[in-house]
């Protein structure tokens, strides 16, 4: 849920947002269903899409093109952005366009909302959807003390995880936007969740084995409470295997 209001033109915030959003998009796999809501005075989705879609290469290319078209204009309609995102998720679930796992919202903004406080918009949603997680990122000095305080207060009242990122800290913005991966890794450690994940098929280098895939699993130090994730073990295999 990405703020493209007029103030995002300052300090190349819109450029930072575009590059960071693409980096997050690159980190998704075919196991994920993804979508983007761009908001300023109004909220829009890529090419008018009404659902999420599986993060396959072609679709990620389309989303990347949509991100390239961001322009910093208008006000900061945070409620409109949130409502559009909720509709996107609900319509997707009705059509079974979902991974059957956690629903994650990442909201990035550089300013306090201009049309009403979004707290009740989120808490009303949470009263009927108990497995949705919110990550808020405040970008740049444009927030000011009151804006940052408002976002922190919103995070406290909704149980969201808040990160403040300074102007020019592009790597920090990327880390903040993708921090939900660390959150879910910690969740698995605390709840002693084991399992494995498969990568998308890819071509071997040199290309003599044909399509390849990689399976990975977390490795824990189980002598500690809670379990401590030590790393990840992976094995490559040909798709035909």
Per-residue pLDDT of the chain (241 residues; tens, 9 = 90+): 999 999 999 999 999 999 999 999 998 988 899 999 999 999 999 999 999 999 999 999 999 999 999 999 999 999 999 999 999 999 999 999 888 888 999 999 998 788 789 999 999 999 999 889 999 999 997 676 678 889 999 999 999 999 999 999 999 999 999 998 888 887 878 888 888 888 888 888 777 778 899 999 989 999 998 888 888 999 999 988 6
DSSP secondary structure, 78-95, as one string: HHHHHHHHHHHHHHHHHT
Q: What is the pLDDT of residue 49?
A: 93
Q: What is the pLDDT of residue 142?
A: 65
Q: What is the pLDDT of residue 144?
A: 67
What sign has the CA pseudo-torsion 134, 52, 115, 143? positive
DSSP secondary structure, 179-221, as one string: THHHHHHHHHHHTT----EEPPPEE-SSTTS-EEEEEEEEEEE
Q: What is the pLDDT of residue 197?
A: 84
Instruction: Tell the burial category of 88 from Cβ atoms under 10 Å away from its Cβ (0-12, 13-18, 19+).
Output: buried
Q: What is the pLDDT of residue 17?
A: 98
With beta carbons less than 8 A apart as the criterion, state whether 191 and 185 touch.
no
Q: What is the pLDDT of residue 226?
A: 86
Cis peptide bond upstream of 206, omega within 30: yes
Q: Strand 228-238 and strand 161-165: pairing?
A: unpaired
Q: What is the pLDDT of residue 92?
A: 96
Q: What is the pLDDT of residue 34?
A: 96
With beta carbons less than 8 A apart as the criterion, state whether 79 and 116 touch.
yes
Q: What is the pLDDT of residue 190?
A: 82
For 15, left (φ over 0), alpha (ψ -120 to 50), or beta? alpha
């Amino acid at each position: 849920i990405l703020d493209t209001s007029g103030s995002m033109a300052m300090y190349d915030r819109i450029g930072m947002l575009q590059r960071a959003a693409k980096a997050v998009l690159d980190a998704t796999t075919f196991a994920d269903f993804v979508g983007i809501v761009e908001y300023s005075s109004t909220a829009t989705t890529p090419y008018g899409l009404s659902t999420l879609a599986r993060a396959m290469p072609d679709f990620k290319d389309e989303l990347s093109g949509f991100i390239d078209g961001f322009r910093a204009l208008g006000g900061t309609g945070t409620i409109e952005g949130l409502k559009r995102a909720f509709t996107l998720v609900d319509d997707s679930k009705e059509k079974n366009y979902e991974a059957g796992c956690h629903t994650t919202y990442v909201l990035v903004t550089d300013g306090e909302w201009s049309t009403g406080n979004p707290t009740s918009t989120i808490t009303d949603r949470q009263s009927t959807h108990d497995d949705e997680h919110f990550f808020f990122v405040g970008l740049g000095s444009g927030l000011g003390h009151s804006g940052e305080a408002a976002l922190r207060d919103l995070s406290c009242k909704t149980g969201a995880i808040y990160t403040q990122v300074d102007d020019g800290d592009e790597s920090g913005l990327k880390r903040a936007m993708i921090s939900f991966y660390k959150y879910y890794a910690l969740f698995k450690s605390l709840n002693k969740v084991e399992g494995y994940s498969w990568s998308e098929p890819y071509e071997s280098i040199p290309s003599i084995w044909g399509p390849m895939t990689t399976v990975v699993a977390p490795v824990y130090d189980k002598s500690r409470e809670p379990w401590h994730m030590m790393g990840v073990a992976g094995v490559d295999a040909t798709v035909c295997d």
